[in-house]
Amino acid sequence: MILIYKIFGDGSQLSPEGGFSRKMILIVKLGRGKLLLDGVAFELSASSVFLIRAGAELRLRESFDLMGYVLELGDRYVDYFLLHYPLGRGLGLFDSLVFLELPGVRMALVVERLRVLVFELERSGDFDHLKLVFFLLLLDIVEDRFVIAQPSELGADLLGEFKVLLEGYFRESRSTSFYARRLGLTDSRLNAFCREWYAGKGLFAVVMERLISEAEYLLLGTDMPIKAIAYELGFSSGENFGMYFRRSRGISPLVFRNMARESDVGG
What would the pLDDT profile of 153-180 be if each residue is shown by its tens digit? 455 567 878 888 899 899 999 999 999 8
- What is the C-alpha to C-alpha distance for residues 225 and 228, in angstroms, rounded to an integer? 5
- Judgement on whether residues 113 and 58 belong to the same structural domain of the protein: yes
The count of structural domains within the chain is 2
**Pair (133, 235) in one structural domain:** no
Which secondary-structure segment (H or E) carries 154? Answer: helix 153-169
Please check whether residue 219 is in contact with residue 257, taking contact to mean a CB–CB distance below 8 angstroms. Answer: yes
Asked if residue 108 and residue 165 are part of one domain, the reply reads no
pTM across the whole model: 0.52
| Domain limit, last residue, from 102, 121, 147 | 147
Give the per-residue pLDDT at 3: 85
pLDDT tens, position by position, 78-112: 888 877 766 666 666 777 677 888 887 788 888 88
Asked if 253 contacts 245 with a C-beta cutoff of 8 angstroms, the reply is: yes
Bridge partners (DSSP) of residue 51 are 25, 98
Instruction: Please check whether residues 138 and 167 belong to one and the same domain.
Output: no
Does residue 132 sit in the same domain as residue 14? yes
Residues 210 and 128 in one domain: no
Residue 168 burial class via C-beta count within 10 angstroms: exposed 0-12, middle 13-18, buried 19 and up: exposed
Query: Of 143-147, 204-208, 230-234, where does mean pLDDT reach its minimum?
Result: 143-147
Cα separation, 240 vs 94, whole angstroms: 39
Do residues 136 and 161 share a domain? no
170 and 198: one domain?
yes
Q: What is the pLDDT of residues 40-84, one digit of tens each?
A: 777 788 888 888 888 877 777 766 677 888 888 888 888 888 777
Residue ending a domain, among 147, 169, 189, is 147
Q: 202 lies in which domain range?
A: 153-266
- For residues 141 and 158, state if they share a domain: no
Do 115 and 198 sit in the same domain of this protein?
no
φ, ψ (nearest 5 deg) of residue 119: -60, -45
At 145 the pLDDT is 52
